[in-house]
Structures are given as C-alpha cells and as structure tokens.
Amino acid sequence: MIALKKVIITLAALCAVSCAKETGTDGKHVGVGEVIPAFTVTTLDGTTTGSDALLGKPSVIVFFDTTCPDCQRQLPEIEAVWRELEGSINAVAIAREQGPDPVRDYWSGNGLTMPVAAPGNRETFNLFDRGSMSGVPQVYVTDKDGRVTLYGNDKNILTTSIITDKLKNN
C-alpha cells in the first residue's frame, strides 16, 4: 500500500511539473482589455508570424506543452475552432519551451492543422505570462486590433463554442 501511494504521488508530481514548470517573479499575465505584446515566431512550415501579422482579423494564440494533460484537452478545442473559422480568423499555437521535433510529432500524431511554432525557449511565452506563474495552456482570444477579449488557462479550459462565439462577435 505504501508503494502504491508513492507511485500515485510521483505521477501527480510529474503531471504538475509538466503543466506548471514555472520560474520567474510574481506578475500578471496579459489580461482581457490589454493589447498583446509585440512578438514574432516562425511556424514549423517556415512562415513568420506574430503580433503584426495577426492584426486585421480576430485571433487565437495558445501557449502549450505537448506533455501537459490540460493542453492535450485544450488543443483539440482550438483546432475545431480553426477548422470551422479558417480564413476569417488568425491562429497560432506556440510551444512554451519545446523545440520542433516533439511538437511536429505531436501535431502529426493528433491530426492538428493550425499553425504552430516551437521556438525551443520561453522568450515569447514570457512576454505574455509576465511572471504570473499561470502555467499552460494559456489562451488569448483577440479582436482585429490585437486587444484580448477572452483568456483561458489550465484552470479555465475554453470550449470550442465559447471561443467561436467570442471570435464571431469580435
């Protein structure tokens, strides 16, 4: 029985570390009503995108880690939005710190098609998180001017319908 408790505690700790592996000072993530920070990333297909490229259409930005169970629940919701509204919205998924290989494998293994960047560092994530220690996923829905209109995280997984409704009304 003690061995089983140790296994359960170890598994719980590994899950918590994969989603909330945060460092930094206390701060507050970019919130509803704020304009997203300036950033640029290169997606796995070689396209450069960022804050300027997202202007003009409502957008979804999601920070994730492929080993995070909450991210594994959130990404299909955003993928469904992307498939339904592709062409009328912008979207980019950005790996919090993973590099291209595990992200490419995850994308192909799960049939995901939305644009994805895997910079291999936290530079872009830190612009949005600002030391809030919020973990991943972090989802930012913006209007055509780059102003955040909806925010979701590991404590508030956003459904396809909530995201779609917000994007259609932005």
Range of the domain at 159: 2-168
DSSP for 94-161, written as a single string: EESS--HHHHHHHHHHTT--S-EE--SSSHHHHHHHTT----S-EEEEE-TTSBEEEEEETTBPPPHH
pTM: 0.85
For 76-98, the pLDDT digits (tens) are: 999 999 999 999 999 999 999 99
Number of domains in the chain: 1
> Amino acid letter at 164?
T
Largest interatomic CA distance in the chain: 58
Structure tokens that stand for 147 in this block: 């102003």
Given a cut of 50, the residues of the chain with pLDDT beneath it are 4-18, 20-26
Please report, for the domain that includes residue 133, its CATH number: 3.40.30.10
For 8-26, the pLDDT digits (tens) are: 444 444 444 445 443 333 4
